[in-house]
Structure formats: structure tokens, C-alpha cells
């Protein structure tokens, strides 16, 4: 029975297995050598490979991963070979041991040679597959490894020797390596090829459209994409950027482009495909799944790195017991101490290397996921319906069991606190959203707030919302304190439970085992300490995923609302049959009802009607913005849209007109001429390259409207929709636009235009009269003129206005008007004299209104640190925080020292103290250290919370008190970035980082003190090591600091673009420009991700070098302990090693916190930057307060007034001098950009005069407080401004009037019935109704039928009217004509009309001719 089996027993022999493996590796080594020689002899063939192909093929073949695997196996076998050699040193080697050493040596050489072969063969090659023989060898290697593993498992069960345990470890590594190599050798994936193609294809339009000279950072792609193995391992690919940052201040163009799928251009298509592969609505699970699938390979790598890091971190505690035994003279073989020291160092290096790459990969994953989610949200905002937008606006046996149970019990205490933290986090996010929404609304309307003197009231509203937010913030922070304290004390509680249980069951405690246990518990402290942050992050991730999912699930615009026909396929441009539409589909009543009309190609269709009749809603239905209930809507051809309220992008004028189209100079000039923009561009300092402020702040209302019309014309669409665009321009310009645009450039186009100006109706091929959401009348002018009352009311009001105009032209000049005429002429002559010499003043150096965002240069100075730590309670809590941490550190070291000193070095030694005393003293020290942690955590949170609150209040007070010029030149995205991102860092991150900096500094000092207590020479070595660390830190910090600042600067454009896109979504969709704006968003997102990615790489670059330096100190300490064991107490030496194991981590965290602290304190720096902006003059000057009755007469004297918007801008008003009589009505007219609105702003002091002054009732308005001035004046702004809330809160934000007075005001404006019918919500009012809510006809361009009725309410007041219609100033007592910032004419209307050559007469004559023409046409047709 035995005889046959004995013939194959050799297969189970270790010597055969090792010999066979060695032979297999020898064959590989020889094959690689022959291949190398042959290649050298035949070199000179195809040579250079394509770098473009390489970028694909290297990823395709898992080149880097394979290279890392081969090199890792080589290093692993080298370590096993050295350990085996030291283990066998001094002994006689058996044949099996010699073969084992030979096998390990051959493995080391062959795998190292294979790594070299892969690098030289494939680094500059475009080959698609690994060689067949190499893949076959990998298959044999996997089979042999599995065979060896099975045999060694069998032998281990049979013998269980240490040698076989080593074999098992080697077999496990070999099996996993073989599996990986077979996978990459016999499978292929094209995913990377697809994702990287846009970056490699020079003809890719999507990339070319994204890249501009300002944001590309040159053509260089990050070196990380093409870095070699050594460069990746050591982060040397960051050398060039860090060196550049050390020589100069880094700018965005110095930061390389992202590589492959790290760019949102590469990552987002893959993410979108994965998300859309699951049909149905987006859920939290589907979103999380798509995000995971996007980065699953990176997650697997991080899991492997985390495993290596974890295993490496536990090697040290495991070896401490053996190390103490070795120092105590109980070593099993010679040189055991050196082998243990070598093992300590190798394990520490592996741990450090894995940790560095683990953290970098996690940052890389985070950057990528943030980019794709931001892009997804942005894209969704372009398709969301208006209704959804309104509704919506992250040790021994039983002793170890006792320790585990204690861990579970203590950590379970965190569960209820974790649930509380989740709830508080959710509430905190909700309250923050409300505050940011209100802040955004206020910033958008800051001008009207300052004009009305309401800014402090709205500041109190922000502070009230902040008060709600801080209540949740406080609960969240103090809950996190409890979780943190539990995490910090858990290791010590576990240690007490473990040691106590061991004593109860009689397990002897010796110093080696105690120190090993304490070191293990110390390792546990890091993940347990991080657990609160992990729980918090998981909670925030869950909340964020829920919020993102809910947003992605909001209703989009109806995709099938419009039946789009191919251009040119039909004679009908627009057709609606039985159309019913509603803004709110859940509402029982429709917004538009029974809509039926057909528009043929080339027709001009006018839409008119009273306020709120549904005119704008009709255009919205054609655009697909208004949800359709029933009916059909057909559209044939491309469309362009001009909104009632102009939407202007940040950027220059040319970019706004081109709107993504290429430059056609002939068409461009034609459009400028038609829109009367050429003269305006000549007056602007940079022509069409003038940068427009946010929402066109440095343009007049008429200029913004004409730029918007020019944008539509340049698109050369087939269908044009105009929503009353001529109401915001003066009469002359309106006439010119109508003639040149509608009747000229668009003569062959289909045009639907909403208008309240009857003179524009007669040329229409079809007129639609809207009433209560229905088409009340439809037809040509003459057909509907006498067929119903609705149209007759509009025409009748127009006739009345014309007859009034005729009577004014023919009427005599009154004595009162004569007097005003004389005064006006005198001032006019004086004004003409003052023009002399102004040319030099205007021709001074000029700059754009909106400048590039300012960022500090150089280091974050000590004043920033000092300001931060002394903001709360003058810094009184800081010493107590440091004292509490120092107390904790001393007591923690004392407890560990007590356990090491009081326990015997071996089982045979007599204990120094009794077991009960040992435990009592240890527990006492532990309790004391726990109180230190509690005190430190509470004080730190209190100080951080107080600091954040104080800086928030100061920031918002300074912003609200800033002059209007600050808001004109500062995009709201920059302000919102500080109020959101920087403020969140101030609340959530900076206190922890600053506290951690102090903690780690004290911890590092404690570790060095303990190590020096055992081997004082360590202190000498630590000095140059620390010096080298400081040098590296100083070399690194300039680049890291500027990268962090760039992160803050690049975030503002993303926010700004998002806000602009939301406000202009209708315009963007109407031009079918969604894809262009999506690409722009991706470009801005990548510009933000670039500094984030490289900032993470720079941090790990520094930390890797810190780890290597700390390893030198650690190795030197171990060498001293091993070389001179007789001079050292083994237990205390073990204590030193226990603390030395944490040296690299303490050093890393200290440097990390210092650098991270400086980076994060840039948020404080940015907030302090806005806290220091100059404020407006005081709201109240007690010494110069006017009487309560001021102004009683209302006379306004303007004396040589000169105004410019900023010191670097040209003069807008260039020396005005005139008087507005008290109690009289003065009309101001002039071409667009003549300075009309600027004069009103100077009156309200939103812009301070450069020279001259304004007197009201003999009081210089510059000498009184702003609130005293603005609260005594009232203004009806050109653009209606509404705030979210009720009608009452908009009419009376200061809450000074009764309900009866509010209803009286509403009834006077003929809005009372409308508000009663629609409810008290502002969102239900139309654009014009909102304008009427501002108390004036000029604000909303209301129909003329109401203008005279409303003006009678101001009969006893001084009224200054900026007129866009001549008829609105005909009944004024005086008219002021402005031109280019100077007074051209100033006289009574009758006097100016007598002079037929006056500018005013020419404007009236042009208006009369235009208006009469329409009636002549209609009469002729009748």
C-alpha cells in the first residue's frame, strides 16, 4: 500500500517545492537576459513611440499597476531572504534551508528584472498586449503558487513550525500577485481609451471650446499622468510645481491641466452613462452606485493601500513583546535584536508609504466626485421647470474578549449621539440654505435697499436667520464634543477592562505584553478618534445625497410640450390649437385658456392687453417654459427671445452679443448699427471690450436692453419673440429700434412682440388682445378697432395723450414758466462755460469696473493668527485649552510609564507593587487624563463657535455698510463665497485644525522626551531631523499657500456662473445654448479642481519626506537600544519604542496641521479682507441731524456736480449746475447713457460726488447722515424689485404702517383687487404688477391709462421724473435735457417746444410723427 505512494512523496517535500520554484524563476531570469541582449543587438528599428498612443495603451494594459506588482513582489522576497539569512546566521545550513535561500534570491532577482523589462519595453511603446510567453509564464506561476499554498497548509497542520508560517505568507502574496497578473494579461478594457480620447484628439471641438488662455495653465498636462514608478511612489512629479512656487507667486496658468478622468470633461460622460443606465427616477442608491462605479478601481487601490497600512501599523505592537524579551537577554538566536529592529523599520516604511498614497487617492476620488456632482446639478438647473424652481430653491484569551466587549459598549454610546448629530446636521443645512437664499436675494437688490434706507432692516433679517442657524450649529458642535471625548477615552477604557479582567482570571502581566497591548490600543485610538469625523462625514454624505437626489428628481420642463418641425418644412411658423397652460399644474385654474392662433412665416404679430392679462405667459408657452395642460403647439424654425427684464452676463459687451457664435464682422457691425450701440461703444472706455459688471450694473437700462436685442439679432434665428423690449429705452431710441430692427433687419423674419405702445401696433399683420388669460380679440388693426371695447380702451388712452401733446405744443407760455425759463437758461450758460477744460479730466487713465479678484500674496502673517485666536474673549480661553491638553499628555505618559515600571519584565520576576494598587493608580491617571480631554474639547468648541459668530456679524455689517461702488465692482459670487464656503470653514474646520496643531506639538514634545529618557542620543539626532523638516516645510509652504488661495479664487466664478445661469435660464434655453453653458461650467469646474488636486499632491509630497526623516530617528533609536541593551531597563526601553512607533504620525500630523492651518486660515484672511473694506458715510450724524419736517419745501440746488463711479473710471456727470424748484415737477430726458440715472444716484448719495455739491432746502446733503437723507426721499426705481415673501412685507419692510394704509396704497395703484384675488404672495404677480407695487408708472412702464391717475397722488411733492416717454414729462413744470453728462437744455416744456431746433422739440416731433403715422395708416385702411 505504501510502496506506490512513496514514489510521489517527494512532491510534498519542501526542498522539491522550493527547488522547482527557483528553477522556474531562473528560467524567467535567463529569458529576460536573452531578450535584453537581443534587443541591444537589433536596436534601431521603429524607435520612438507615439506619446498620444502611450497615454491610451499604458492605461489599457494596466502598465503602472503591473510594474508596481512586480516590483512589490521583488521587494517582498528580498525582505524574506534577508530575514531568513539573519535567522540562519551562525547555524549550519541544511539542504532545504540552502535551497530556500536560493529560491528567495532568484525570486528577488527575476521579479526585479521583470520590473526593469516592463519599464524599458513598454514605457515608450504602443504595443497593445503583453508578450504571449510572459502571459503563459504568469499562468504557470499562479498554478505553482496555488500548489505551494495547498502543500504548505497541509504541512503547517502537520508540523506547525515558524519556517512553514513564513512559507505560507510568501504563498499568499504569490497567489494574489498571480491572480492579478493573469487578470491583466488575459483580459482587456477599453474604458480608459474612451475617456481619454478627448484629451488626445486635437480636433475635439468640445475641448477646444473650453480652453482659453486665462484658464488653461498652458498646454501642459499634470506630470502625474505620465510619471514613472519612482516618481509616483515619492511624489516627485510635484517637484516642478513646488519649485516654481518657491521662486514666484503661483497663478492659475502655472497649474497644469488635469489628466484623463480626473478632469470633469473625461469623468462626467462616464458618470452620466452609469446614472442613466438604471431606468426610472434617480434614487439615493442609484446616485451612490453611479458615483461608486465611476471610481471603483481607485477605491480598490485605496482598499489595498488601507490593508497594507493597517498590517504595517500592527507589526510594531506585535514585535514589542519580543523586543523586550530580547533586551532582557531571552533572545532565541544571535542578532535577533537587529532582525527585530530591521523589521520595525521596514514595517514602518511600508505603513508610511501606504498611508501617503491612501490619503492622496482619497483626495483624488473626492475631487473627481465633487466635479461630476456639481456638473450634474448645474445641468439639471438648466432643465428644471419654473414651478419646481420655486419649490426648491454628505490580548490574551478572555482579556482580549473583555477588551472587545468594552470597545463595543463604549462605541455603542456613540450611536444615539450619532443620530442626534445627523438630525442637527440636517437642520443646520436647511437653515444655512435659507440664510444663503436670502443673502443672495439681498445682494442682488442691494441698490434698492440703500436707496430706500432699508439695508439695516434687512441685515437684521439675515442676523435673525443666522440666530436660528447658530442654534443648530451649537447643538451640532457640542454633540460632536461628546462623540470626540468618547473616542479619545475609549482606548484607555479598553485597556482598563483588559488589564482588570486579566488580573481577575489570574493571567500574569509582564511589561512586554502590557506595552504590546498599550501600543495596540494606541493604534486603535486613531481610527476610534477618527470615527466621529467618519460618522459625521457619513451623515453629511447621506444628507447631501438625499438633497441632491431630491433636486435631481424635480420636474423638468415638459419635453413634449412643443412639436418641433424641421426648419423650412412648413409655411406655418407657430400654431397653437386649443391650448391650455398653467404655471402651477396642481392649480384648478389655468393661466392661459383656449388659446388658438396660427402664425405664418414672415408675419409680425403684436400682443397687447392690460396688466396681468397673460401677454408674457403667452410668449412663455411658445418657448416651452409654461407647462401645457392640453392642446397642441407646433413650432417650425429656430427661435430667439428678448425678455422684458434684460439678462446680461458678466463679461465684455462683445461676448454678450456673440453669445457663443463666431465673429462675423459684417453682421456684427450691422447689428450694432440697428441697435444704436455704436455711439454708446464710442463713449465707453474700452468700447465693446468693456467688462460689464454683475447684471450689467455699469450700463443704463436702455443700454442693457439694446445689448439684449443685439444678442438676439446676431443669432440670425427664424422666429423672434420680444417681450416689450422698447419700454426701457427713450422715445427716439425706441422709434429707431422699431424701424431698424422689426421693420428692417427682421423684415423677412417671423416676429411676435408684446407692447403697450399703440403706435407700434398698426404695422402688425396680426394683433392679439389678451384679457384674463384668453385671446379676447384677434385680427388686423382696422379689423379689431371697432369690434370690441378692450382694444378701444388702449387706443383711446393713446389718442388722449396725443391731444395733450398737441395742446402743449400750441399753448402759451405762462408767467411761472417764463421765470423758470430764465433760471434754466442762466444755469445752462453757466454749465456751458464749465465744459471748458473737461477733456483733460476725462482723458485720464481708465480701467475696467470689475477687476480680477484680489488675493493676498506671501505667507499668512502672524496678525491673521493673532486676530483669530484673540477674537473670542480676547484669547482668554487659549491658555486654558493648552493647559488642559498638557495635563492630558502628562497624565497619559504617566499612566503608560506606571504600567511599564510597575509590571515585571518576566513571569519569574517579582512584581514591584500589588495588582490592586497597579490598577487603582492606572485608573486614577486615566480618569484625570479623560477630564483633560473633556475640558480641552469643550473650551475649543466654545472658542471656535464664538469666533465664527463674531466674525460673521462683523463681515455682514461691513458688507451692508459698504458703498454701492463696492457692489458695482464686486460680483456677488465673491461675497457669497465668503458668506458660505469661508464661513463654513470658520465654523467646522479651523477650530479643530488650530486645536490639533497645539495637541500634536505637545504630543511630539512628549514622545521626544520619553525617547530621550532612554537614549539621550536620540535628542541629538532629532535636532538635524527637525531642522530638515522645517526646511522642507518652508520650501513647500509658498506653493501650498498660493494653491489654497487659488482654490478660493477659482470657486467664486463657479458660484457666479451658477447664479447667472439660474437667473437667465429662460434666455439660455430659448437660444438652445444649454450645451455651451454646460461646457463653460465644466471649464470653470476643472479650473477649480486643478489647484485642489495639486494641493493634495503637494501635501503628500511633504508628508512623504517627513515620514522618511522620522524613520531615521526611529531607526537610530532602535539601533542604540539593540547595541547597548545592558545599560537600559528593558521595560522602559519598550516604553520608548511604544512611543517611537507614533513618532512619524505625530510629526506628520503636526506639519500637516501647520500647513493645513495656514491654508485654511486663508478663509479668515479673506473674511478679514472684506471686514476692512471702507464703509459708507455714517447713517446718522448726531451733530447735523435735520428737523423732522425737513425737507419742507423740497428745492434742490445742484452746484457744479461731477460724478464718477470709481477712482479709475471716467466722469459720468461733468459739472452740472441747475435748480429744481420745490413742490414742482421736473422731467429729465436724454439719450441712453447721458447720465440721467447717475444724477438720481448722486441725489441719494449711492455714489459720492468727485466735486460739487447738492443742496436740499439749503442743507448740504453730504453733511447729514445717509439714513436721514434717504428716509426723507422716496424713489420708484427703473427695474421693479421684489423680495420673496408677502406683498405686505414688500410694501412695508420696516413695519411702520397699518393694514388700512397698506390697502389704501394698493387701491391707489389699482392693485387691491388683484392682490385680493391672487393672494398675498409676490410670486403670483406679473412683471408689471410688481412694477406697480413699487408705486409708480415709470418703474414698470404701465399703460398710459393709469399714469395720470397715479401722478395726482404726488401733487404737493417735488417730483423728479426720468422719462423714457415724452408724454410722461409734458405736464412737468420744467424739463432737463442731458447729453454726455452735461446739461444741454433746461426750461419749461412749452418754452422748449417753442424753439423748433431744441433737442426736446426734435424728440417730441419725432414721437408725434411716429404716433400719427400709425393712425394715418389705420384711417387709410378704414
Q: Is the separation of the CB atoms in 635 and 562 below 8 Å?
A: yes
In the chain, the percentage of residues whose pLDDT exceeds 90 is 4
Cα–Cα distances in Å, from 195 out to 49, 186, 243, 706, 1262? 21, 22, 31, 43, 63
Q: How far apart are the first and last CA of the chain?
A: 126
Which of 115-129, 712-726, 842-856, 1005-1019 has the highest average model confidence (pLDDT)? 712-726
Q: How confident is the model at residue 1327 (pLDDT cuts 50, 70, 90)?
A: very low
DSSP string, 332-380: SSTTHHHHHHHHHHHHHHHHHHHHHHHHHHHHHHHHHHHHHHHHHHHHH
pLDDT of residue 1412: 57
pLDDT of residue 276: 80
Is the torsion defined by CA of 565, 567, 572, 574 positive or negative?
Answer: positive
pLDDT of residue 958: 92
At residue 1366, the 3 state secondary structure works out as helix
**Mean per-residue pLDDT, 395-410:** 47
Q: Is the separation of the CB atoms in 767 and 778 below 8 Å?
A: yes
Our measurement of the distance from residue 1162's CA atom to the centroid of its chain's CA atoms, rounded to an integer in Å, reads 16
pLDDT, tens digit, 9 for 90 and up, residues 211-237? 343 444 445 788 887 887 788 888 888
Rounded to the nearest 5°, which phi and psi values hold at 447?
-60, -45
pLDDT of residue 1339: 32
**Range of weakest confidence among 285-289, 654-658, 1084-1088, 1145-1149:** 1145-1149
Model confidence at 480: pLDDT above 70: yes
**Range of weakest confidence among 832-841, 980-989, 1160-1169, 1232-1241:** 832-841
**Mean per-residue pLDDT, 182-210:** 43
Model confidence at 126: pLDDT above 60: no
pLDDT of residue 123: 57
C-alpha cell at 595: 388659446
The contacts of residue 1205 (CB under 8 Å, 6+ apart) are 698, 849, 965, 968, 1212, 1238, 1247
**Range of weakest confidence among 91-100, 434-443, 705-714, 1025-1034:** 91-100
C-alpha cell at 618: 403667452
Q: How confident is the model at residue 953 (pLDDT cuts 50, 70, 90)?
A: very high
pLDDT of residue 311: 83
Grid cell 524567467 in the structure block, residue:
28
pLDDT of residue 449: 86
Our measurement of the distance from residue 1400's CA atom to the centroid of its chain's CA atoms, rounded to an integer in Å, reads 52
Q: Of 658, 670, 574, give the one whose Cα is nearest residue 619.
A: 574
- Rounded-to-integer distance, Cα 1158 and Cα 1095, Å: 13
**Mean per-residue pLDDT, 1250-1268:** 89
pLDDT, tens digit, 9 for 90 and up, residues 515-527? 777 777 767 666 7
Rounded to the nearest 5°, which phi and psi values hold at 597?
-165, 160
Q: Is the separation of the CB atoms in 376 and 274 below 8 Å?
A: no
**Range of weakest confidence among 25-39, 196-210, 427-441, 1019-1033:** 196-210
Q: Which residues pair with 641 in a beta bridge?
A: 721
Q: How confident is the model at residue 814 (pLDDT cuts 50, 70, 90)?
A: very low
Q: How confident is the model at residue 73 (pLDDT cuts 50, 70, 90)?
A: confident
At residue 710, the 3 state secondary structure works out as helix
Radius of gyration of the CA atoms of the chain, in A = 40
pLDDT, tens digit, 9 for 90 and up, residues 1363-1402? 766 667 777 888 888 888 888 888 888 888 888 788 888 7
Q: Of 994, 997, 1006, give the one whose Cα is nearest residue 888.
A: 1006
Q: How confident is the model at residue 1411 (pLDDT cuts 50, 70, 90)?
A: low
C-alpha cell at 58: 499604458
At residue 196, the 3 state secondary structure works out as helix
- Mean pLDDT computed over every residue of the chain: 76
- Rounded-to-integer distance, Cα 106 and Cα 93, Å: 18
The 10 Å Cβ neighbour count of residue 1254 is: 21
pLDDT, tens digit, 9 for 90 and up, residues 559-585? 788 888 888 788 889 999 988 888 877
Q: Is the separation of the CB atoms in 107 and 36 below 8 Å?
A: no
Model confidence at 702: pLDDT above 70: yes
Model confidence at 837: pLDDT above 50: no
Q: Are strands 1211-1220 and 1196-1204 parallel, antiparallel or unpaired?
A: antiparallel
- Report the predicted TM-score, pTM, of the whole model to 2 decimal places: 0.61
pLDDT of residue 393: 44
Please give, one letter per residue, the 3-state secondary structure of 890-904: HHHHHHHHHHHHHCC
Q: How confident is the model at residue 839 (pLDDT cuts 50, 70, 90)?
A: very low
- Rounded-to-integer distance, Cα 239 and Cα 585, Å: 59
Model confidence at 1326: pLDDT above 60: no
pLDDT, tens digit, 9 for 90 and up, residues 864-898? 888 888 888 888 988 998 898 888 888 888 887 78
C-alpha cell at 1037: 509652504
Amino acid at each position: 500500500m505504501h510502496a506506490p505512494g512513496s514514489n510521489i512523496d517527494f512532491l510534498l517535500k519542501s526542498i522539491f517545492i522550493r527547488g522547482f520554484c527557483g528553477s522556474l524563476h531562473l528560467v524567467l531570469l535567463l529569458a529576460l537576459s536573452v531578450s535584453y541582449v537581443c534587443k541591444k543587438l537589433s536596436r534601431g528599428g521603429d524607435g520612438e513611440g507615439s506619446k498620444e498612443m502611450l497615454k491610451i495603451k499604458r492605461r489599457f494594459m494596466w502598465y503602472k499597476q503591473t510594474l508596481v506588482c512586480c516590483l512589490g513582489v521583488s521587494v517582498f522576497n528580498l525582505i524574506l531572504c534577508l530575514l531568513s539569512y539573519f535567522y540562519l546566521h551562525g547555524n549550519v545550513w541544511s539542504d532545504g534551508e540552502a535551497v530556500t535561500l536560493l529560491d528567495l534570491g532568484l525570486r528577488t532577482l527575476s521579479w526585479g528584472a521583470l520590473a526593469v523589462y516592463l519599464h524599458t519595453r513598454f514605457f515608450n511603446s504602443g504595443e497593445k498586449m503583453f508578450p504571449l510567453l510572459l502571459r503563459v509564464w504568469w499562468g504557470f506561476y499562479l498554478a505553482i503558487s496555488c500548489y505551494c499554498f495547498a502543500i504548505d497548509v497541509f504541512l503547517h497542520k502537520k508540523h506547525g513550525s515558524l519556517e512553514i508560517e513564513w512559507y505560507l505568507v510568501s504563498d499568499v502574496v504569490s497567489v494574489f500577485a498571480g491572480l492579478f497578473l493573469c487578470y491583466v494579461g488575459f483580459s482587456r478594457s477599453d474604458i480608459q481609451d474612451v475617456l481619454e480620447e478627448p484629451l488626445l484628439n486635437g480636433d475635439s471641438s468640445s475641448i477646444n471650446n473650453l480652453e482659453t488662455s486665462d484658464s488653461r495653465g498652458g498646454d501642459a498636462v499634470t506630470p502625474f499622468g505620465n510619471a514613472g514608478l519612482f516618481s509616483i511612489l515619492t511624489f516627485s512629479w510635484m517637484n516642478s510645481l513646488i519649485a516654481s512656487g518657491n521662486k514666484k507667486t503661483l497663478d492659475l496658468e502655472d497649474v497644469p491641466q488635469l489628466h484623463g478622468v480626473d478632469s470633469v470633461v473625461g469623468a462626467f460622460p462616464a458618470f452620466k452613462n452609469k446614472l442613466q443606465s438604471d431606468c426610472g427616477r434617480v434614487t439615493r442608491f442609484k446616485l451612490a452606485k453611479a458615483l461608486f462605479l465611476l471610481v471603483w478601481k481607485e477605491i480598490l487601490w485605496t482598499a489595498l493601500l488601507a490593508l497594507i497600512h493597517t498590517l504595517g501599523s500592527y507589526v510594531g505592537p506585535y514585535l514589542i513583546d519580543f523586543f523586550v524579551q530580547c533586551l532582557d537577554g531571552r533572545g532565541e538566536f544571535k542578532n535577533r535584536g537587529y532582525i527585530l529592529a530591521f523589521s520595525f523599520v521596514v514595517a514602518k516604511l511600508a505603513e508610511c508609504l501606504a498611508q501617503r498614497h491612501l490619503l492622496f487617492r482619497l483626495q483624488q476620488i473626492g475631487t473627481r466626485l465633487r466635479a461630476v456632482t456639481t456638473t450634474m446639478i448645474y445641468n439639471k438647473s438648466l432643465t428644471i421647470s419654473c414651478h419646481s424652481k420655486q419649490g426648491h430653491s454628505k490580548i490574551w484569551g478572555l482579556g482580549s474578549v473583555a477588551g472587545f466587549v468594552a470597545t463595543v459598549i463604549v462605541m455603542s454610546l456613540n450611536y444615539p449621539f450619532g443620530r442626534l448629530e445627523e438630525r442637527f446636521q440636517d437642520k443646520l443645512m436647511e437653515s444655512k440654505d435659507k440664510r444663503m437664499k436670502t443673502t443672495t436675494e439681498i445682494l442682488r437688490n442691494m441698490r434698492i435697499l440703500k436707496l430706500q434706507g432699508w439695508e439695516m432692516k434687512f441685515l437684521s433679517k439675515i442676523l435673525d436667520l443666522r440666530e436660528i442657524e447658530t442654534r443648530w450649529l451649537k447643538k451640532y458642535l457640542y454633540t460632536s464634543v461628546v462623540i470626540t471625548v468618547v473616542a479619545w477615552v475609549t482606548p484607555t477604557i479598553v485597556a482598563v477592562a483588559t488589564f482588570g479582567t486579566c488580573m481577575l482570571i489570574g493571567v500574569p502581566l509582564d511589561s512586554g505584553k502590557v506595552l504590546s497591548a498599550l501600543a495596540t490600543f494606541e493604534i486603535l485610538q486613531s481610527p476610534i478618534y477618527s470615527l466621529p469625523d467618519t460618522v459625521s462625514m457619513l451623515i453629511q454624505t447621506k444628507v447631501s445625497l438625499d438633497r441632491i437626489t431630491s433636486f435631481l428628481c424635480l420636474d423638468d420642463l415638459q419635453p413634449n410640450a412643443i412639436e418641433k418641425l424641421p426648419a423650412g418644412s412648413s409655411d406655418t411658423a407657430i400654431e397653437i390649437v386649443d391650448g391650455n397652460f398653467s404655471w402651477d399644474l396642481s392649480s384648478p385654474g389655468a393661466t392661459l385658456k383656449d388659446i388658438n392662433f396660427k402664425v405664418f412665416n414672415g408675419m409680425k404679430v403684436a400682443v397687447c392687453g392690460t396688466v396681468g392679462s397673460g401677454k408674457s405667459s403667452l410668449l412663455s408657452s411658445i418657448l416651452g417654459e409654461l407647462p401645457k395642460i392640453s392642446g397642441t403647439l407646433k413650432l417650425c424654425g429656430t427661435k430667439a427671445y428678448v425678455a422684458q427684464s434684460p439678462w446680461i452676463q458678466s463679461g465684455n459687451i462683445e461676448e454678450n452679443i456673440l453669445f457663443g457664435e463666431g465673429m462675423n464682422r459684417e453682421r456684427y457691425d450691422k447689428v450694432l448699427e440697428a441697435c444704436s450701440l455704436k455711439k454708446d461703444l464710442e463713449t465707453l472706455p474700452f468700447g465693446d471690450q468693456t467688462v460689464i459688471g454683475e447684471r450689467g450694473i455699469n450700463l443704463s437700462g436702455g443700454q442693457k436692453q439694446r445689448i439684449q436685442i443685439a444678442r438676439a439679432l446676431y443669432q440670425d434665428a427664424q422666429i423672434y419673440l420680444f417681450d416689450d423690449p422698447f419700454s426701457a429705452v427713450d422715445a427716439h431710441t425706441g422709434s429707431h429700434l422699431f424701424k431698424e430692427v422689426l421693420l428692417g433687419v427682421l423684415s423677412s423674419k417671423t416676429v411676435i412682440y408684446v407692447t403697450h405702445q399703440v403706435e407700434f401696433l398698426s404695422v402688425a399683420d396680426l394683433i392679439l388682445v389678451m384679457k384674463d388669460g384668453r385671446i379676447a380679440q384677434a385680427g388686423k388693426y382696422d379689423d379689431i378697432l371697432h369690434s370690441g371695447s378692450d382694444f378701444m380702451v388702449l387706443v383711446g388712452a393713446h389718442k388722449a395723450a396725443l391731444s395733450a401733446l398737441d395742446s402743449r405744443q400750441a399753448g402759451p407760455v405762462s408767467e411761472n414758466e417764463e421765470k423758470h425759463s430764465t433760471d434754466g437758461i442762466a444755469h445752462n450758460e453757466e454749465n456751458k462755460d464749465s465744459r471748458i477744460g473737461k477733456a483733460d479730466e476725462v482723458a485720464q487713465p481708465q480701467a475696467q469696473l470689475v477687476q480680477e479678484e484680489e488675493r493676498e500674496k506671501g505667507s499668512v502673517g502672524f496678525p491673521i493668527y493673532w486676530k483669530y485666536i484673540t477674537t473670542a474673549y480676547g484669547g482668554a480661553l487659549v491658555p486654558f485649552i493648552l493647559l488642559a491638553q498638557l495635563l492630558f499628555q502628562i497624565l497619559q505618559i504617566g499612566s503608560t510609564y506606571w504600567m511599564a515600571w510597575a509590571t515585571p519584565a518576566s513571569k519569574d520576576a517579582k512584581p514591584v507593587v500589588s495588582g490592586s494598587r497597579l490598577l487603582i493608580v492606572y485608573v486614577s491617571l486615566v480618569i484625570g487624563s479623560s477630564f483633560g480631554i473633556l475640558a480641552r474639547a469643550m473650551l475649543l468648541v466654545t472658542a471656535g463657535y464664538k469666533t465664527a459668530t463674531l466674525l460673521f456679524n462683523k463681515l455682514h455689517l461691513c458688507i451692508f455698510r459698504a458703498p454701492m461702488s463696492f457692489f458695482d465692482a464686486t460680483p456677488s459670487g465673491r461675497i457669497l463665497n465668503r458668506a458660505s464656503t469661508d464661513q463654513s470653514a470658520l465654523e467646522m474646520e479651523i477650530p479643530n485644525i488650530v486645536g490639533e496643531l497645539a495637541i500634536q506639538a505637545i504630543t511630539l514634545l512628549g514622545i521626544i522626551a520619553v525617547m530621550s529618557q532612554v537614549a539621550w542620543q536620540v535628542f541629538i539626532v532629532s535636532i538635524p531631523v527637525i531642522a530638515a523638516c522645517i526646511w522642507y516645510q518652508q520650501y513647500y509652504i509658498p506653493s501650498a499657500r498660493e494653491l489654497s488661495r487659488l482654490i478660493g479664487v477659482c470657486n467664486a466664478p463657479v458660484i457666479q456662473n451658477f447664479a447667472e445661469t439660474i437667473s437667465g435660464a429662460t434666455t439660455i434655453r430659448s437660444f438652445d445654448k444649454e450645451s455651451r453653458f454646460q461646457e463653460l461650467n465644466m471649464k470653470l469646474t476643472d479650473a477649480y479642481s486643478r489647484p485642489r488636486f495639486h494641493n493634495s499632491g503637494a501635501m503628500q509630497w511633504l508628508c512623504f519626506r517627513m515620514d522618511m526623516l522620522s524613520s531615521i530617528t526611529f531607526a537610530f533609536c532602535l539601533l542604540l537600544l539593540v547595541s547597548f541593551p545592558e545599560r537600559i531597563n528593558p521595560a522602559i526601553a519598550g516604553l520608548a519604542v511604544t512611543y517611537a512607533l507614533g513618532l512619524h504620525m505625530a510629526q506628520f500630523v503636526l506639519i500637516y496641521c501647520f500647513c493645513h492651518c495656514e491654508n485654511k486660515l486663508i478663509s479668515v484672511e479673506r473674511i478679514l479682507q472684506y471686514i476692512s473694506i471702507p464703509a459708507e458715510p455714517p447713517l446718522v450724524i448726531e451733530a447735523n441731524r435735520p428737523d423732522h419736517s425737513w425737507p419742507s419745501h423740497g428745492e434742490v440746488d445742484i452746484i457744479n456736480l461731477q460724478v464718477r463711479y470709481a477712482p479709475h473710471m471716467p466722469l459720468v456727470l461733468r459739472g452740472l449746475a441747475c435748480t429744481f424748484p420745490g413742490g414742482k415737477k421736473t422731467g429729465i430726458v436724454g439719450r441712453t447713457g447721458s447720465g440721467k440715472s447717475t444724477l438720481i444716484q448722486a441725489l441719494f448719495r449711492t455714489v459720492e460726488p468727485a466735486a460739487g455739491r447738492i443742496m436740499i432746502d439749503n442743507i448740504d446733503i453730504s453733511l447729514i447722515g445717509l439714513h436721514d437723507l434717504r428716509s426723507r426721499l422716496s424713489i420708484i426705481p427703473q427695474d421693479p424689485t421684489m423680495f420673496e415673501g408677502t406683498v405686505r412685507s414688500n410694501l412695508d419692510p420696516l413695519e411702520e404702517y397699518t393694514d388700512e394704509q397698506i390697502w389704501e396704497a394698493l387701491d391707489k395703484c389699482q392693485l387691491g383687487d388683484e392682490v385680493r384675488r391672487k393672494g398675498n404672495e409676490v410670486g403670483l404677480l406679473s412683471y408689471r404688477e410688481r412694477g406697480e407695487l413699487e408705486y409708480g408708472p415709470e418703474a414698470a412702464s404701465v399703460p398710459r391709462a393709469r399714469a395720470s391717475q397715479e401722478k395726482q397722488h404726488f401733487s404737493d411733492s417735488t417730483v423728479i421724473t426720468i422719462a423714457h416717454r415724452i408724454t410722461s414729462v409734458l405736464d412737468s413744470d420744467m424739463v432737463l435735457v442731458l447729453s454726455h453728462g452735461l446739461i444741454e437744455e433746461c426750461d419749461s416744456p412749452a418754452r422748449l417746444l417753442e424753439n423748433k431746433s431744441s433737442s426736446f422739440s426734435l424728440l417730441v416731433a419725432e414721437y408725434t410723427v411716429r404716433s400719427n403715422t400709425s393712425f394715418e395708416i389705420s384711417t387709410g385702411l378704414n
